[in-house]
Amino acid sequence: QVTVRDALNQALDEELERDERVFLLGEEVAQYDGAYKISRGLWKKYGDKRVIDTPISEMGFAGIAVGAAMVWLRPVCEFMTFNFSMQAIDQVINSAAKTCYMSAGSIAVPIVFRGPNGASAGVAAQHSQCFAAWYGHCPGLKVVSPWSSEDAKGLLKASIRDDNPVVLLENELLYGVPFEMSEQAQSKDFVVPIGKAKIEKQGTHVTLVSHSRPVGHCLEAAAVLSKEGVECEVINLRTIRPMDIETVEASVAKTNHLVTVEGGWPQFGVGAEICARIMEGPAFNYLDAPAVRVTGADVPMPYAKILEDNCIPQVKDIIFAVKKTLNI
């Protein structure tokens, strides 16, 4: 078993070793070994030029990283939390995402923006927002959101090797969680293709679509419902943009019911996009009931634990949504 933290560390180590153009920069990534110890040991191994501590200035170091990517270095830019990426959103969107198109393909920007996204525990509103819908909205970016250690390693490696800007949304509460990792995933050549969802559990009665930490909640809910005779198919999106809607459509054609689950806010969210795509496409004809969304509450995240728990989708909320859509 390998924790998500160690899987990310492994991916960074392997890519820094494989390609000398790859470098990591961000707050406390070097001498302190990373705020979450994702970059543990890398500064000692690769030195100041490859693992770079920056001042607390997201717009500044994101801009440096984007400029480096424009001259074919491959920066990995760490935000201590994606909430702070709002300081740098001009660089992420206006500089990184749009340059390839505006230069008619002559300037690529091979950069990865990564760090923890969404709610952690007891860190209140300014550290708890999910940016999947924000960044997923913008053409020119690829947006990935891993759940397991295999997702984290494979998607980070694929993101670093991609010639486009990639936003990699991790989850702080998953960092210490161990997952089984196949022998194949331990190899240095292992990548998870960007834009391909994964069916984590086969089922026949209802399709559950999720990304990041709520995938685990969906599997827990599916285990409870299975004892009551309801078999859920659980899809781990892995990539928000480009979205693998074909896998969702094929599942809905089989189960005839759809529930989406996410930690973000409901309005204009990832679930809203999935529901719209299903309604506009061929899978709509297979639905036996309206699609249902399970989301975070439509409020800034409260600090108090009991209120926080009520703002984040829980297993009981997913079970309730499944029973509602199946009318049981």
pLDDT in tens, 65-115: 999 999 999 999 999 999 999 999 999 999 999 999 999 999 999 999 999
Domain assignment of residue 306, yes or no: yes
Domain assignment of residue 225, yes or no: yes
Residue 25's domain is classified under what CATH number?
Answer: 3.40.50.970
Q: Are residues 149 and 55 in the same domain?
A: yes
DSSP 232-301: EEEEE--EEES--HHHHHHHHHHHS-EEEE-SS-STT-HHHHHHHHHHHSGGGGG-SS--EEE---SSPP
Which contacts qualify for 42-48: CB closer than 8 Å, 24 or more apart? 42/9, 42/12, 42/13, 42/16, 45/13, 45/16, 46/16
pLDDT tens readout for residues 55-74: 999 999 999 999 999 999 99
Catalytic residue among 78, 127, 200, 233: 127
Domain assignment of residue 203, yes or no: yes
pLDDT confidence of residue 10:
97
Mean pLDDT of all residues in 20-25: 98
pLDDT confidence of residue 140:
97
Cβ(174)–Cβ(274) below 8 Å: no
Position of tokens 């399709």? 207
pLDDT confidence of residue 68:
98
Of 138, 156, 186, the last residue of a domain is 186
Domain that holds residue 53: 2-186
pLDDT confidence of residue 275:
98
Residue 206's domain is classified under what CATH number?
Answer: 3.40.50.920
d(CA 127, CA 118): 8
What whole-number percentage of the chain has pLDDT above 70? 100
Closest CA to 236 of 213, 258, 257: 213
What whole-number percentage of the chain has pLDDT above 90? 100
Domain assignment of residue 46, yes or no: yes
pLDDT confidence of residue 20:
97
CA 15 to each of CA 159, 226, 259: distance values in angstroms, whole numbers, following the listed order:
10, 41, 37
Of 127, 153, 186, the last residue of a domain is 186
Q: Are residues 166 and 216 in the same domain?
A: no
Q: Are residues 160 and 30 in the same domain?
A: yes
pLDDT tens readout for residues 118-131: 999 999 999 999 99
Q: Are residues 61 and 100 in the same domain?
A: yes
Q: Is 257 a catalytic residue?
A: no
Closest CA to 170 of 9, 320, 281, 51: 9
Q: Are residues 147 and 8 in the same domain?
A: yes
Strands of 74-78's sheet in order across = 51-53, 22-26, 74-78, 112-116, 166-170, 142-144, 239-241
319 phi/psi in degrees, rounded to 5: -60, -45
Of 186, 215, 231, the last residue of a domain is 186
Count of domains forming the chain: 2
Mean pLDDT of all residues in 162-177: 98
Q: Which residues of 276-304 are buried (b: 16+ CB within 10 A; e: fewer)?
A: eebeeeebeebbeeebbbbbbeeeebbee
Q: Determine the 3-state secondary structure of 118 from DSSP.
A: coil
pLDDT confidence of residue 326:
97
Catalytic residue among 14, 15, 27, 58: 58
Mean pLDDT, rounded, of the chain:
97
Mean pLDDT of all residues in 211-231: 98
Domain assignment of residue 192, yes or no: no
Q: Within a 10 A sphere around the Cβ of 106, how many other Cβ atoms?
A: 8
Mean pLDDT of all residues in 294-313: 97
Q: Is 127 a catalytic residue?
A: yes
Helix (H) or strand (E) holding 328: none
pLDDT band at 30 (very low <50, low <70, confident <90, very high): very high
d(CA 126, CA 302): 10
pLDDT confidence of residue 96:
98
Q: What is the largest CA-CA distance in the chain?
A: 60
